[in-house]
Amino acid sequence: MIHARSLWVLLGLALLIATVLRLYRADELMIFSGDQGRDLMLMEQMIQTGEPLLLGPGSGVGQFNRGPAYYYLLAPALWLGNGAPFSALLFIIAADVAAVVMVFVVGRALLNPFAGIVAALLYACAQRPIQVARALSNPALLPFLMLVMVYALWQMIQGRERYLFVLVSAWLIAWQLHDQVWLLVIFFVEAYLFFRPRVHWRTILVALVLSGLLLAPFLYYESTHDASNMRAMLEYVRNSAVKPSSEGGIGNALNRLVSTLELLSYDFSDSPALRVIWISAVLASGIALLARVRKETPGAQFLCMLMGLPFLYLIWPGPIYALNVAIVLPIPCLIVGYGATLLAREQRTWQYVCLGVVVTLCGVNLVWLLQMLHTREPIGNSYATVRELTEYIRTRVGDEAFAFDYVTKRNNGDLAKPYYYMFQKGGMRLTSQGNAMHVWLYDPAGQSQKQDGLALRDVRVIVYASPVIRSNNILANNWKLQAHIGSASRDEGTQEMALHTQTVSDATNAVQRMVLDANRTYLLQFECRNQLSRGEQRVYVQALDRDKNVLNTWPNGGGYICPPTNEWTSGSILLETPADTARGAIYLRNRGEGTVWFRNVTLHHAELVPLN
């Protein structure tokens, strides 16, 4: 066998490569879009107020939230970094560098140290894990947690039943990060039925108590909110598109599997030859493991079960992209580690030959990825772009209060949230009043996509003075009152509209649709008050084309939120209609528990004078 000192040197090399590739220009190129802005705003609020968060990010496959573990994991790093977004990303990068160590530990435990070091070197420089680790997103922590769970389960199989505490803790934290960890439950059941580890009932009881502690914020919220998220989860399971009950469903399932395997196959270089070598190594090692599994050690049999995990994406209900397959990213590296063990067959010469090939592959990938990262230009929703545009806006508005709108074709108000966060951290005075100074960020390409990025030069910022009204009110008193569960009424004398709901899951609206001109500026003004025990009173406007497709929604972020007061307050929304606009719709909404009122709702043509 290879010397222990050489193993530690190679592990140190793997950690160095992993750190360099995950850190290089990460602060400039990291995506800083709607999800990141929302999460950082919530964490900053928790840090500043000391009020604990009870819910985490929303699910990507259903209309529900999970627990807040993601926020609690990143909040200390954000606090230490004085709110800098990159400080939160550093925590994720550190976790994925630690995942390199866990790949070695798992490979050594299941197979041998040689397999572990081969797998660790490969994982350190593989493109897909690096891509995930450089993302400020909740699934980015899953590779490390998945490896911890796999190691804990294997230790339980070896008779160390107290590792159940580690397994339960890691899975519950991972579940609060992303839904894909449910696929691991199938693997856990399979491994338990095959190996039959013995667990004392007292250990199970302690694990249940630990589970309650880890889920305490989420369970408290559910107990005080009619189990709204748990009911939404059950409803989603009942109506899930996972069930391949038709030919189309089976076809979609196969497409998901192909997409998953494709994501796992493009980890090394842009050279077709090296890709073929990598894919061949994974396939050959996997086939060899399947062929020899009955004669193999329990650790190799356990790895063979783990090898089936990517195929469970046949039943994954959502889209397939790198973050959605985070739990399977270490698996190909472990499989190739097994293949290298077979090839070397305990002979030191062959072990060094295998390690030489792996280190060469790492070197090629290191150079390729560094060149790619060095030449990559920040895209429209990168941190560098948001930071640069925020500083430009600061120079234009000075100490004055201003309203901000993200004008985009994608109709996604979340895109403004990173700017809200940067304005807040920079002490800039943001207001929601439409008659204030306005800063509009124009995104002509509809923001950046995940693959084809929008360059910084394509995004422009225009600062306007307060709008000037150029017409009478163009609205009529023909509001359509929509009460799904609650009630809605209008006083014909004062024209006040009252909207009442029973719970926050209800929505009662007053809606008016009208003709709007394309490429024109409008100012909506209104008064609102409310008596809500929970929830919010909102106002928002939509621009529609001739086919009634939504082109944009104002204001960004889901609508103007009226102050929580029973006193009448004034609000306003400024909007510029896109080129294809034919009609518009104004929504006055109660999304809470109680009653809200609106009055003096007017819409005017307006004119903006640029200050640029």
Q: What whole-number distance in Å separates Cα of residue 253 and Cα of residue 284? A: 25
Using the predicted structure, report yes or no on whether residue 320 has a pLDDT greater than 90.
Answer: no
Do 358 and 328 lie in one domain? The reply is yes
Please tell me which residue, 467 or 429, carries the higher pLDDT value.
429
Mean pLDDT along residues 154-160: 94
Identify whether 493 is part of a domain.
yes
Q: What pLDDT score does 124 carry?
A: 94
Residue 48 lies in a domain: yes
**What would the pLDDT profile of 400-411 be if each residue is shown by its tens digit?**
888 787 766 554
- Using pLDDT thresholds of 50, 70 and 90, give the confidence band for residue 239: low
Q: Phi/psi of residue 13, each to 5°?
A: -65, -45
Its pTM stands at: 0.80
Statement to judge: residues 222 and 286 lie in one domain: yes
Percent of the chain with pLDDT over 90: 36
Domain shared by 412 and 555, yes or no:
no
Which of 51-55, 503-507, 530-534 comes out lowest in average pLDDT? 503-507
Statement to judge: residues 301 and 210 lie in one domain? yes
C-alpha to C-alpha distance for 84 and 92, rounded to whole angstroms? 14
- Are residues 439 and 577 located together in one domain of the fold? no
Residue 44 lies in a domain: yes
Residue 316 has pLDDT above 90, yes or no: no
Residues 307 and 201 in one domain: yes
pLDDT at 153 over 90: yes
Q: What is the pLDDT of residue 240?
A: 60
Task: For residue 245, give both structure tokens.
Answer: 């009950």
CATH number at residue 492: 2.60.120.260
- pLDDT band of residue 87 (cuts 50, 70, 90) is very high
Banded model confidence at residue 434, pLDDT cuts 50, 70, 90: low
Residue 28 domain-assigned (yes or no): yes
Residue scoring higher pLDDT (58 or 302): 302
**Residues 116, 205 within the same domain:** yes
Q: How confident is the model at residue 244 (pLDDT cuts 50, 70, 90)?
A: very low
Confidence of residue 192 (pLDDT cuts 50, 70, 90): very high
Same domain, 438 and 566: no
The pLDDT score that the predictor gives to residue 96 is 96
Q: Are residues 420 and 350 in the same domain?
A: no
The residue from 463, 496, 528 where one domain ends is 463
Residues with Cβ within 8 Å of residue 400, at least 6 apart in sequence: 429, 437
How far CA 533 is from CA of 239, 436, 567, in Å, comes to 32, 30, 15
Residue 87 falls within a domain, yes or no?
Answer: yes
pLDDT tens figures, 386-430: 888 888 888 888 888 887 877 665 545 567 788 888 988 888 888
Q: Give mean pLDDT, residues 428-435.
A: 74
- Domain enclosing residue 362, as ranges: 4-243+264-373
Q: 75 and 171, same structural domain?
A: yes
Sign of CA dihedral 429, 431, 437, 442: positive
Q: Of 373, 404, 427, which residue is a domain's last?
A: 373
Tally of domains in the chain: 3
For 32, 93, 259, 313, 381, the CA distances from 36, given in Å and listed in that order, are: 6, 16, 25, 26, 10
pLDDT per residue as tens digits for the range 97-144: 999 999 999 999 999 999 999 999 999 998 889 999 999 999 999 999
| pLDDT tens digits, one per residue of 275-301 | 788 888 888 999 999 999 888 899 999
Kindly state whether residue 148 falls inside one of the protein's structural domains.
yes
In a domain, 503, yes or no: yes
The pLDDT of residue 444 is 54
pLDDT of 330 > 90? The answer is: yes
157 and 188 inside one domain: yes
Residue 424: its pLDDT value, please?
A: 86
**pLDDT-based confidence at 60, cuts 50/70/90?**
low
Q: Scanning the structure block, which residue is given the tokens 């990025």?
A: 453
Rounded distance, CA 39 to CA 71, Å?
7
> Which residue stretches of 376-416 are H helix?
383-397
pLDDT at 325 (0 to 100): 87
% of the chain at pLDDT higher than 70? 86
- Both 39 and 81 in one domain: the answer is yes
At residue 250, the pLDDT reads 62
The four Cα atoms 292, 297, 298, 302 give a dihedral, to 10 degrees, of -50
| Most confident range, picked from 154-163, 236-245, 352-361 | 154-163
Residue with tokens 């880890």: 214
Residue 454 has pLDDT above 50, yes or no: no
Among residues 355, 373, 391, the one where a domain terminates is 373
User: Tell me: the pLDDT tens digits for 510-569?
Assistant: 999 999 999 888 888 888 998 887 778 888 898 899 998 888 877 765 567 887 788 888
* Residue 476 lies inside a defined structural domain of this protein: no
pLDDT at 608 exceeding the cut of 80: no
Contact predicate 166/305, CB 8 Å? no
